[in-house]
Chains A and B, each alone.
Chain A
Amino acid sequence: MFPRPIPETAIWQRRLYVVLVVGILIVWLAPLFAIILTSFRSTQDVMGGNLWGWPTQFGLVDNYTAVFTQTPMARYFLNSLTITIPSVIGVLILSTLAGFVLARYRFRGNMLVFALFVGGNFLPHQIMMIPVRDLMVRLNLYDTMSALIIFHIAFQTGFATLFMRNFIAALPGELFQAARAEGATPFQTLVHVVVPLVRPALAALAILLFTFIWNDYFWAVVLTISDTVKPVTAGLANLRGEWISAWNLISAGTIVVALPPVAMFFLMQKHFITGLTMGAVKG
């Protein structure tokens, strides 16, 4: 069962193999194809029940225009960016600092602090829901994008610190000893040695965090209610309630929500996979 490499010469075998993989892929992605095809359909076809037959007319442009003009989707989209980007930057900074300390300084409780960061990461979100919501209400931040940004930074810092700590701990220790012997202060070491060396990890982490935060739905519905602050995920759930059976529009909306992470993924695929496996394998 372990995939024996299919030899270069066995063209016939290779073709058969590729056909097999493509076949499975089509089944695997069938739900996605269904939604993409539906997002191309015209409203007349959808209302008339013609969902799978040959379309009488195409609704591609109409549907996507409608999503952005007749619904607050454009606003949601902008909100999502406004929430996601500062959150990612915030997490990257905090986790690099904390990861550096946890990886390079031995102090009593080091392992405990690390374990708390890791363990907190596994908490069910519901256990934090009521106090976090209450905290944001008291801080007058409930139903603002800041509430989501603060929460995402706090929560993702757990995972990201684990990630950065493991990456920095895997760097050769002699580099740090050399920096110390050369008279670099801890802060100089951080700026001149750590940051340049962890760039690949930061790239991988950034795209992972972008995906996590962009895709968040739970906290979006817990901490926001207004259209002016809601991110796309909560927005999409809203639109479904409004449109009920306008599946062509819902499909187009879904594609809009799904697109940024998918695009990020294809643009920075290598970083994404290293990030995911590095984070998971070590943690």
Chain B
Amino acid sequence: MTKLWRRHRWWLTPTLLILPAAVLFSVVILASAVESLWISLHEWDGFSPMVWIGLGNYRELFADPQFYVSLKNNLIWLVMFMLAPPLGLAIALLVSQKIRGMRLLKSLFFIPLVLASVAVGVVFTWVYTPEFGLLALIFRTFGATAPAVLSDENFVTFAVVIAALWPQIAFCMVLYLAGLNNLSEDLIGAGRVDGARGWNMLRHIVLPQLTQVTFIAIAVTVVGALRSFDMVSVMTSGGPFGSSEVLAYQMFEQSIFSYRFGYGAAIASVLFVIMAVFIAWYLTRMIRADERGG
């Protein structure tokens, strides 16, 4: 036994070490993802046996007006979320001064990032509350009446996205601050000697060194926008009349509230495909960078 172990431990040990993580991750995460694709081809209420209906759920989905509302809202999320990297960079540039007390100010800027999204949702629901909220207060100061943004079909998604942007900007700011910390002093010095200042310095010396960070910030932001669920759930429950639903929320609602697991799985699968295209692109970039010795 001992001899067998000694002879084989060079490969047995690593196998045993990676096994718990690999098994748990593949069973709970990866297999579940694949299983969802399978379920999406069935009619299923979660209790009775599944009934094979082929692409029936997808046919229904592509004819469902609510699906297009969700898709449009996801697109709004994606586009508006693209504000996070530039705004994060702007704040990072603003606070990256080495002055006493700056550290504390910096960390105060980080706070939205560590707040639970539920908390952010509640905070902004309060801000948006008609008559009493902060928004109403500001409008009143200017003699106007604030619209009830969360119950207005035209404003609601924008209002939710603005709330979600708050922590996302903070996230991008953290990334950019780290990037600014790692700038090559030599290059900045060389730039100064060559007379680059202000905008030119930013454009030609600083930003080129931040491409890696920008790539990550955009990636994180895209994933964040597509994943959006918590804010919608907490702030509007998809309302009014489904006008603020996104794919993630619509899927949840169909499965948990309407017991249409097959249909929910189909929505999840569409979301997955959108994300997969993105992941594939991102992974190839990352692996290529790794092979270059990054």
- Residues of B168-185 whose CB lies within 8 A of A: 171, 174-175, 177-178
User: A72 contacts the other chain (Cβ, under 8 Å)?
Assistant: no
Residues on A with C-beta less than 8 A from B124 are 31
Interface centre among A21, A130, A153, A222, by most chain B C-beta atoms within 10 angstroms, is: A130
B9, B98, B127, B212: the one contacting A281 at CB < 8 Å is B212
Checking B17, B198, B279 against A100 with a beta-carbon cut-off of 8 angstroms, the contacting residue is: B17
Contact check, A94 vs B24: say whether CB atoms are below 8 A apart: yes
Residues of A within 8 A of B145 (CB): none
Query: Distance in Å from the Cβ of A147 to the closest Cβ of chain B?
Result: 11
CA distance A186 to B13 in the complex (A): 7
Contacts of B24 in A (CB 8 A): 94, 150, 153-154, 157
Given A119-B283, A247-B126, A281-B213; A126-B31 close (CB under 8 Å)? no
Chain B residues near A119 (CB, 8 Å)? 279, 283
Instruction: Return chain A residues, CB-CB under 8 Å to B283.
Output: 115, 118-119
Selecting from A63-71, A195-203, A258-266, the interface stretch reads: A258-266
Interface residue tally for chain B (C-beta within 8 Å): 105
Q: For the complex, is B118 an interface residue (Cβ under 8 Å from A)?
A: yes
Interface presence of B122 (CB below 8 A): yes
User: Which residues of chain B come closer than 8 Å to A236, judged between CB atoms?
Assistant: 116, 118-119, 122
User: Which of B109, B119, B216, B229: most chain A Cβ within 10 A?
Assistant: B119
Q: C-beta contact mask, A70-90 vs B, less than 8 Å → 1, else 0? A: 000000000000000000000
Residues of B within 8 A of A (CB): 9-11, 13-14, 17-18, 20-22, 24-33, 35-36, 39, 46, 91, 93-99, 101-102, 105, 107-112, 114-119, 122-127, 129, 131-134, 137, 166, 171, 174-175, 177-178, 188, 197-199, 201-202, 205-206, 212-213, 216, 220, 223, 226-227, 229-230, 233-234, 247-248, 251-252, 255-256, 261, 264-265, 267-269, 271-272, 275, 278-279, 282-283, 286-287
